[in-house]
């Protein structure tokens, strides 16, 4: 992340993705899964158009790896 806007955009995308993914996770896996989502979001920042796109890309990638 090199652009100053990348961090707030990634944080917003993480929150959006997490809000969608959290209800479908098994109890007790929250912290580990949230960290996984954060890593995925960070890796996709350069590819995304905005935080909505970033959140959706992260969700697709996480569900694809499940």
d(CA 39, CA 9): 14
Residue with tokens 């961090």: 7
Q: Would you state the pLDDT for residue 61?
A: 93
Residue with tokens 């109890």: 27
Q: Would you state the pLDDT for residue 37?
A: 93
Which residues of the chain are modeled with pLDDT < 70? 1-2, 65-66
Q: Would you state the pLDDT for residue 30?
A: 79
d(CA 57, CA 53): 6
């Amino acid at each position: 992340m090199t652009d100053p806007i990348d961090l707030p955009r990634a944080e917003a995308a993480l929150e959006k993705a997490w809000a969608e993914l959290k209800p479908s996770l098994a109890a007790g896996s929250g912290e580990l899964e949230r960290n996984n989502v954060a890593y995925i979001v960070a890796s996709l920042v350069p590819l995304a158009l905005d935080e909505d796109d970033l959140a959706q890309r992260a969700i697709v990638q996480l569900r694809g790896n499940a």
